[in-house]
Amino acid sequence: MSNQSESIGGAQAAPPSAADSGIAVRAHGIWKVFGRNPERVLEPKYRDLPKKELQRRTGCVVALRDVNLEVKAGELFVLMGLSGSGKSTMIRTLLRLVEPTSGTLHVDGKDVGAMSHKELLEFRRNLVSMVFQSYGLLPHYTVLENAAYGLRLRGDEKGEREARAIEALKMVGLAGWESYYPTSLSGGMQQRVGLARALAKNPDILLMDEPFSGLDPLIRRQMQDELVDIQEDIGKTIIFVTHDLPEALKLGDRIAIMRDGQVIQVAEPEEILSNPFDEYVRAFTRDASPARVFTASTVMEEPEMLLYRWQGPLTARTEMEHNKREWSFVVDRKRVYLGVATRDVIERLAKEKRTTVEKDDLQYLEPVKPDVIIEDLFGLVSSGSYPLPVTDDQGRLLGVVRPRAILNALSTEEDDA
């Protein structure tokens, strides 16, 4: 961060005093310009041009434009915006993984921009942890070694760091997986290793860049719940990046909305919904009545029972009896949804001495995609006697939507608002 350009960046307000109690992160007049000679973009003749125009004239991309933020200690602060709006760049500047072009940053009262290389390493090792969308685990380390890596860099003794790492793994529900390698874990579990690695350090501040967006909807929801629990337990300051409005509303104490590198509104979730700052925010939240915000993926659940295509009618019948059910969804080996088998159909197939259940035998209930809003699900759910199957683009069964789940989602949201 260069100090000479700071005067340009922070022209309108006095630089903040270093240590305010209760403020965990304070960004002041942050600019980040990618390209050649980025400083010239801050000159008066360029600085007010729109992003596209600037890119055409100078070849530089403005990722952050005069960002001012204050995050309170213990707060779960959400950064939200469309793709390319600068969320990742912003969160990366807090650790100087990206060097801001201008502006000042205080984290825990320390001036991050003024740190020497050595101080910066110390700062990253002790005060702040980050969780990445792409996990960033070390494939040649076990789960335990990964979770303990931050502690190793910090210089903790082996015994102590392993104890802490095991503790953190327990917190994220991965006890017993210590000696596995990350590649043998599912995406959701790998992300939890990333979370454990971050928590093991017991940092004051946790930065999370779209940590859940690579995960299946059900697991994603589960991880969100876990994060809320963890936050309640240990009261960290968390800065959480997402471009998913329901996720932001669910998690955020406050939400900052970014557009084209600028923060255009910072407010509590309700205020964002009830009082959107401008058309852009309104567009984000226009459909924010719960029935329009929540999608099939937010309310879907595991099916109570599943039959696999290659199971014969006799096995199927036994399983149905065992589960006391009159019908079941049927999937193939890849969990691709095939249809609904009722007890009657199974009985008939059993009588015909068939060995497998074929698609033609099944009743086909049209599945829905996970991003269908629940308003559109009303009619579908209430018309049939079965829950709605939810499938992904490959036709795999992700979960089922039951009428009760929809009602629950709507009522809790309305209680809150």
The residues of the shown chain that bind another protein, judged by CB under 8 A, are 95, 97, 121-126, 129-130, 132, 134-140, 149-150, 153-154, 173, 183-190, 194, 197, 201, 216, 218-219, 222, 301-306, 323, 334-335, 396, 398
| Site of tokens 């008066």 | 44
61 near ligand ATP, judged by CB under 6 A? yes
The helix/strand/coil state of 72 is strand
188 CB neighbour count, 10 Å cutoff: 17
208 near ligand ATP, judged by CB under 6 A? no
Q: Choose the one of Mg ion, another protein, ligand ATP, none that binds residue 63, judging by a C-beta under 5 to 8 angstroms depending on kind.
A: ligand ATP
101 near ligand ATP, judged by CB under 6 A? no
Give the residue ranges of DSSP H helices in 148-286.
149-154, 158-171, 187-200, 217-234, 245-251, 269-274, 279-285
The helix/strand/coil state of 374 is helix
Q: How far is the CB of 28 from Mg ion (least distance, A)?
A: 22
Pick between residue 58 and residue 93 the one whose CB is nearest to another protein.
Answer: 93
Q: Choose the one of Mg ion, another protein, ligand ATP, none that binds residue 243, judging by a C-beta under 5 to 8 angstroms depending on kind.
A: ligand ATP
Contact 220, 227 (CB under 8 A): no
Pick between residue 25 and residue 368 the one whose CB is nearest to ligand ATP.
Answer: 25
Q: How far is the CB of 105 from ligand ATP (least distance, A)?
A: 16
Q: How far is the CB of 194 from ligand ATP (least distance, A)?
A: 17
What single-letter DSSP state applies at residue 245?
Answer: H
Among 27, 30, 63, 346, binds ligand ATP (CB under 6 A): 63
85 near ligand ATP, judged by CB under 6 A? yes
Please state, in angstroms and rounded to a whole number, the distance separating the CA atoms of residues 34 and 284. Answer: 27
Please name which of 202, 242, 200 lies closest in space to residue 223, comparing C-alpha atoms: 242
Site string for ligand ATP, 233-262 (x = CB under 6 A): ----------x-------------------
Please name which of 320, 307, 241, 309 lies closest in space to residue 76, comparing C-alpha atoms: 241
Please name which of 254, 324, 315, 303 lies closest in space to residue 79, comparing C-alpha atoms: 254
